[in-house]
Amino acid sequence: MGLPMDLHPHGRPDTRVTVPGADVRDLRAELAGTRVGIIGLGGLGSNAAVMLLRSGVRRMVLADFDVVELSNLDRQAYFLDQVGRPKTEALAETLLRIDRDAELTFISERVDPEMLLARFGDLDLLIEAVDRPDAKAMIVNTCLQRLPHVPLVTASGLAGYGSANAIETERFCENLWVVGDLESDVDTGLPLFASRVMVAAAHEAHIAIRVLLGFTEP
């Protein structure tokens, strides 16, 4: 016997959202009017940026101080001929191939608290997608303490070859959503696989879309 359409496989109510009378073009137009920031353009940030743009978010502020490396190509949205170039420059090229009219601002330097306040304080949502724990903590703490009005999506735990189903999105407080399994860490020797990294990137992009459309629960 098949499962009832209104039930989750584990018995929880289905969280699918139907907006009566909503047209997909209206939703994409709503997303097009928003402005999203992404700090860190590696496996999470570069892929999330592509997904957001394809979903209708056409105005973004994107920050990363690093260059594309050959070892990045197994999981990041870059190509062989972009190796050695700044990630901001390479990602700009890719995104503008998807939508040449996208409004993109790139910051090719390390983000500190003062820059965070100056360049990301007027956004509709911010995605944290950095690797270093200290940088991650700085972004989260600065946003919670000094930019509490800006919804923040962050990530913790996406390394290894564990089940992709362990990667979830949780709402930790009013304006903070955390993506990941909250356990697996590349610093413990676990490898990074494109499949699991992209699952986490998709979670970050999708909760961003939901929040921008007014749905705050994962």
- 176-180/168-173 β-pairing: antiparallel
Confidence of residue 168 (pLDDT cuts 50, 70, 90): very high
| pLDDT mean over 90-103 | 96
pLDDT of residue 141: 96
Distance CA 36, CA 50 (A): 12
What are the CB-based long-range contacts (under 8 Å, 24+) for 131-137?
A: 131/40, 131/42, 131/186, 135/40, 135/111
This model's pTM is above 0.85: yes
Domains of the chain: 24-212 (3.40.50.720)
Distance CA 9, CA 54 (A): 29
Asked if the model's pLDDT at residue 35 lies above 90, the reply is: yes
Asked if the model's pLDDT at residue 6 lies above 70, the reply is: no
